């Protein structure tokens, strides 16, 4: 109803002195339903807020009767409605005030990186609702970052560099530079030659590596990286590694020379006691000569495998035909000469690998027992011998489909398996469980005769085109809607239910799907024929002539007409 061209909401505002639109005030939740939250906002009429405005960053609505919330009046509706309020807008205004204070004070803001965009990153700096801000790539870290993806999902501290209607721009670099300078002065005051200190590798070059010593950068020459031979600096350390170094020198320009190897004792000091004759040791091939291969057992300690100790039987013209530089090998210590810093090693005297022995003792097709060590969604790990684990893949578990491994197998269960293959080079053993029995599908192909075999199965799936039934030994059968019976496929979901037992006749096979095609309709037709045959036999089928049967049929048709 209108008066002087004004609607009910306008009249209400004039006569009742309602709050101004856009005003933020405290409200109390009085009721919550599936769509709205009803709030007493200090006026005679309750206001409503869509419940989705209470969904926080978790995505779940967190609101209960009695909660106090900040809301803003958005609209006075007609005489049949309730005032519309907004929590979301009130939150945004509060967030804006908070960020303005942070910007003016120079304090840090917490930024959660949510995505990468052209030129930088987008961060969420809101507390109650998402406030998007831009963090330029040049302001992410002290050094340029080629991979910004690694920051997604991380929470960083940054300063608000720009706050305007056009958007919010952050800078983490400014904050980091300030912190670095403070730390640099603090660290320099504590450094002295000969001191041992920890640092982080920040850059690697051919000549050595740069190390961040808590805000101060030092340099480790390649000759000071290891007691052993070093071809490339990156062979010893990686960017990001935390290492312990010794300060060798601090010059007048505050340049710091460091040593990584001198932070560790000379390894040859302990060689004689550590590498006894007959000890098995792992090492890396670092050099190959005509007379043998040098193997690094640890940085600064190398041994020689003479050509006569490389292999028992394999013939070769040069050791590089058997071993490769960089490969890791297991050797046996033959002799140690500590004075000359020489160690004699042997490759051929190492015992055979357990995979090789297992393969010899268990050729493909061998049945063995093992203990389940782990179960995943797609495989079962089985310990076939102590510390020797084989893998049963999902498609080798059962001839049936949709096997739930976590329900079928438990850790420490003892099960029987079949050895499928052994890859001793890669230390892998392939096992099977379904191979313990013959393929039921192949048996079905031999056993079931189309047009003759009748089977009964339980309905396990109902589809628009037909139903899937489980037959014996887990073999599946399929009955099209048109083969379900006289009703056809019109009401397939009404005439068939899950776990129903259906008897049908085999009419063929779907080899790719490993399914037996069935027909309930043909089975019913066969039953009718059998009934007729039984009836005729009981009435003296031998005396019934074809003419008599045709005559009876004609009489029946005449009566119907």
pLDDT digits (tens, 9 = 90+) for 490-543: 678 878 888 888 888 899 998 888 889 998 888 888 888 878 777 776 665 444
CA pair distance 201, 292, nearest whole angstrom: 36
Region of poorest pLDDT, from 15-19, 370-374, 485-489? 15-19
pLDDT digits (tens, 9 = 90+) for 229-264: 888 899 889 999 999 999 999 887 788 999 998 888
Say how many C-beta atoms besides its own lie within 10 A of residue 374's C-beta.
13
Q: What is the CATH number of domain 8-93?
A: 2.40.50.140
- In this prediction, residue 11 carries a pLDDT of 39
User: Do 396 and 429 touch, CB atoms closer than 8 A?
Assistant: no
pLDDT at 435 over 80: yes
- In this prediction, residue 221 carries a pLDDT of 95
- In this prediction, residue 118 carries a pLDDT of 92
Distances in Å between the alpha carbon of 346 and those of 271, 303, 352? 17, 10, 14
Residue 300: half-sphere exposure toward Cβ, Cα within 13 Å: 17
**Planar angle of CA 336, 342, 346, nearest 5 degrees:** 65
CA pair distance 478, 518, nearest whole angstrom: 6
Q: What is the dihedral of CA 367, 373, 376, 378, to 10 degrees?
A: -20
Average pLDDT over the chain reads 83
Tokens at 519, concatenated: 């027909």
- In this prediction, residue 57 carries a pLDDT of 62
- In this prediction, residue 554 carries a pLDDT of 43
User: Do 167 and 202 touch, CB atoms closer than 8 A?
Assistant: no
- In this prediction, residue 2 carries a pLDDT of 44
- DSSP 8-state code for residue 18: P
Distance of CA 40 to the CA centre of its chain: 47
pLDDT confidence band for 122 (50 / 70 / 90)? very high
pLDDT above 70 coverage of the chain, percent = 88
pLDDT at 79 over 60: no
Taking domain 365-436, whether its CATH number is 3.30.300.30 is answered by no
CATH class of 106-177: mainly beta
- In this prediction, residue 142 carries a pLDDT of 86
Q: What is the dihedral of CA 539, 544, 550, 553, to 10 degrees?
A: -10
Q: Strand pairing partners for 95?
A: none
- In this prediction, residue 77 carries a pLDDT of 66
pLDDT at 3 over 50: no
Between 488 and 126, the more confident residue is: 126
Between 40 and 402, the more confident residue is: 40
Region of poorest pLDDT, from 10-19, 66-75, 212-221, 324-333? 10-19
pLDDT at 403 over 60: yes
Distance of CA 89 to the CA centre of its chain: 38
User: Do 45 and 73 touch, CB atoms closer than 8 A?
Assistant: no
CA pair distance 518, 170, nearest whole angstrom: 69
Q: Is the pTM of this model over 0.85?
A: no
Between 121 and 438, the more confident residue is: 121
CA pair distance 83, 525, nearest whole angstrom: 71
Between 56 and 241, the more confident residue is: 241
- In this prediction, residue 66 carries a pLDDT of 82
- In this prediction, residue 134 carries a pLDDT of 94
CATH of the domain spanning 440-526, picked from 2.40.50.140, 3.30.930.10, 2.60.120.260, 3.30.1490.190: 2.40.50.140
CA pair distance 360, 429, nearest whole angstrom: 12
CATH class of 190-263: mainly beta
CATH class of 267-346: mainly beta
pLDDT at 371 over 90: yes
| DSSP-assigned letters across all residues of 155-217 | EEEEEEEEEETTEEEEESHHHHHHHHHHHHHHHHTT--TT-EEEEEEEEEETTEEEEE-SS-E
CA pair distance 380, 393, nearest whole angstrom: 7
Average confidence (pLDDT) over 291-297: 93
CATH 2.40.50.140 occupies which residues in the chain? 8-93, 106-177, 190-263, 267-346, 365-436, 440-526
pLDDT above 90 coverage of the chain, percent = 31
- In this prediction, residue 39 carries a pLDDT of 86
pLDDT confidence band for 17 (50 / 70 / 90)? very low
Region of poorest pLDDT, from 334-343, 368-377, 473-482, 488-497? 488-497
pLDDT digits (tens, 9 = 90+) for 183-213: 888 888 888 888 999 999 999 999 999 999 8
- In this prediction, residue 552 carries a pLDDT of 52
- In this prediction, residue 247 carries a pLDDT of 92
């Amino acid at each position: 109803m209108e008066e002087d061209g004004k609607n009910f909401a306008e009249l209400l505002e004039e006569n009742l002195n309602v709050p101004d639109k856009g005003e933020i005030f405290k409200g109390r939740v009085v009721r919550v339903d599936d769509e709205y939250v009803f709030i007493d906002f200090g006026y005679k009429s309750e206001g409503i807020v869509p419940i989705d405005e209470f969904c926080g960053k978790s995505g779940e609505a967190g609101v209960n009767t009695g909660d106090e919330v900040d809301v803003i009046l958005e609209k006075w509706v007609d005489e049949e409605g309730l005032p519309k309020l907004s929590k979301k807008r009130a939150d945004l205004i509060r967030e804006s005030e908070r960020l303005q204070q942070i910007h003016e004070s120079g304090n840090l803001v917490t930024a959660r990186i949510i995505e990468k965009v052209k030129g930088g990153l987008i961060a969420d700096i809101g507390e109650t609702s998402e406030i998007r801000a831009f963090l330029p790539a040049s302001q992410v870290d002290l050094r340029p970052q080629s991979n910004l993806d690694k920051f997604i999902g991380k929470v960083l501290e940054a300063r608000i560099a720009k706050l305007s209607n056009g958007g919010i721009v952050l800078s983490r670099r400014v904050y980091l530079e300030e912190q670095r300078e403070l730390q640099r002065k603090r660290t320099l005051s504590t450094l002295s030659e000969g001191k041992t200190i920890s640092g982080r590798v920040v850059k690697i070059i051919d000549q050595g590596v740069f190390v961040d010593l808590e805000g101060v950068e030092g340099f480790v020459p390649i000759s000071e990286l290891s007691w052993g031979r070093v071809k490339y600096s990156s062979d010893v350390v990686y960017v990001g590694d935390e290492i312990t170094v010794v300060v060798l020198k601090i010059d007048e320009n505050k340049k710091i020379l460091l040593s990584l190897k001198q932070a560790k004792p000379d390894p040859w000091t302990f060689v004689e006691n550590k590498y006894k004759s007959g000890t098995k040791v792992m090492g890396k091939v670092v050099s190959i000569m005509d007379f043998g291969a040098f193997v690094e057992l640890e940085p600064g300690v190398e041994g020689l495998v003479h050509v006569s100790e490389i292999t028992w039987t394999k013939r070769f013209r040069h050791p590089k035909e058997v071993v490769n530089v960089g490969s890791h090998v297991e050797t046996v210590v033959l002799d140690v000469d500590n004075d000359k810093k020489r160690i004699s090693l042997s490759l051929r005297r190492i015992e055979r690998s357990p995979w090789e022995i297992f393969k010899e003792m268990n050729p493909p097709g061998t049945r063995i027992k093992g203990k389940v060590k782990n179960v995943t969604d797609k495989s079962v790990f089985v310990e076939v011998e102590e510390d020797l684990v084989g893998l049963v893949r999902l498609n080798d578990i059962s001839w049936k489909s949709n096997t739930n491994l976590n329900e079928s197998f438990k850790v420490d269960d003892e099960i029987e398996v079949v050895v499928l293959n052994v890859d001793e080079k890669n230390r892998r053993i392939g096992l099977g469980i379904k191979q313990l029995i013959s393929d039921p599908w192949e048996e079905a192909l031999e056993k079931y005769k189309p047009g003759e075999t009748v089977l009964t199965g339980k309905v396990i799936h109902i589809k628009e085109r037909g139903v899937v039934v489980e037959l014996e030994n887990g073999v599946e059968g399929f009955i099209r809607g048109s083969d379900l019976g006289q009703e056809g496929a019109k009401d397939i979901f009404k005439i068939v239910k899950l776990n129903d037992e259906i008897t049908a006749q085999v009419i063929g096979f779907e080899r790719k799907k490993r399914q037996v095609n069935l027909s309930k309709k043909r089975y019913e037709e066969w039953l009718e024929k059998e009934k007729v045959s039984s009836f005729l036999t009981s009435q003296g089928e031998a005396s019934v002539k074809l003419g008599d049967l045709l005559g009876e049929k004609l009489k029946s048709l005449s009566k119907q007409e």
